[in-house]
Amino acid sequence: MSILQVNQLQKSFGATQVLQDISFSLEKGQALAIIGSSGSGKTTLLRCLNFLEIPDGGTISVNGQCIFDAADPTTQKEREVRKKRLHFGLVFQSFNLFPQYTALENVTLAMTLLSKETGAWKANRKEEQERIQQEGLQFLASMGLANRAGHYPHQLSGGQQQRVAIARALALKPDILCFDEPTSALDPELTGEVLRVIRDLASRQTTMIIVTHEMAFARDVADEVVFMDGGVIVEQGPARQVIESPTHERTRRFLSRYGADGEEVT
């Protein structure tokens, strides 16, 4: 059974239909890359999955359980939406780290707040704090940032900030981790370290959805690729197949703008 099943998702902003009839599924441990030009609806799709936008139509199921149905308002109550968001993690294009917290605090803040809602916090506060602290440090270490735990975001490079953001998202152990163009705001020489980290996550069977303009990266890391254009899925299939031998004319035209190495040709 698929871990994620999206059915006929629709979203409009005013009169503009941004997503039309989006359906796809994702298997546990797989990485899905979404490619397409700006304005094709990729980011809106991710935002819908994270309930930052409420879809106008369609359903979203995680682990076979329907967590969102546009036709059923009971699935859209704010209290429940908050819990349902935790199925997904989201790494933003612009990192959105909290500037007043250190790297470690950025990772542990939400963990601490969630822990306070459980009995474990009340029963043994000290131990729970210690556990969260250790866990946060481990997540930072896995991003190669063990020695940056006490740094504030403005003291870190863009690549380091994005890796803290990835650690922060991972710390809540989402079922599916989403990336919204994770390297687009970075200087070219900093994209490598972030891509390497994501590659590493893929090799450890992290279930991911990655919106990206890095074609070579999508081809090598993703299991499946979805090509979107004008709010619809034009083509989807195994990564290598879609990127190296696309069947649709629109996909071919889009990919021809990128060279063999995935770099955009201008």
**Contact residues for other proteins, defined by CB under 8 A:** 50-52, 82-83, 85-86, 88-90, 92, 94, 96-100, 109-110, 113-114, 152-154, 168-169, 172
Q: Closer CB to other proteins, residue 151 or residue 240?
A: 151
The SS3 assignment for 22 reads strand
Q: HSE of 174 in the Cβ direction (CA atoms, 13 Å)? A: 25
Structure tokens at 41: 């609806």
Give the Cα separation of 127 and 123 in Å (integer): 9
Give the Cα separation of 52 and 191 in Å (integer): 26
Structure tokens at 148: 């940056």
For 12, phi then psi, to 5°, come to -125, 145
**Least Cβ distance, residue 12 to other proteins (angstroms):** 16
**Least Cβ distance, residue 55 to other proteins (angstroms):** 16
154-172 in b/e form (b: 16+ CB < 10 A) is eebebbbbbbbbbbbbbbb
Question: 21 to each of 1, 10, 41, 85, how far by Cα in Å?
Answer: 22, 6, 12, 22
**Least Cβ distance, residue 100 to other proteins (angstroms):** 4
Q: Which strands form 88-91's sheet, in the order they lie side by side?
A: 88-91, 176-180, 208-211, 31-35, 224-229, 232-238
**Least Cβ distance, residue 173 to other proteins (angstroms):** 11
Q: Closer CB to other proteins, residue 35 or residue 97?
A: 97
**Least Cβ distance, residue 13 to other proteins (angstroms):** 15
Q: Closer CB to other proteins, residue 88 or residue 254?
A: 88
Q: Closer CB to other proteins, residue 152 or residue 258?
A: 152
**Least Cβ distance, residue 172 to other proteins (angstroms):** 6
Q: Closer CB to other proteins, residue 126 or residue 154?
A: 154
Q: Closer CB to other proteins, residue 51 or residue 227?
A: 51
Instruction: Decide if 24 contacts 58 (C-beta within 8 A).
Output: no
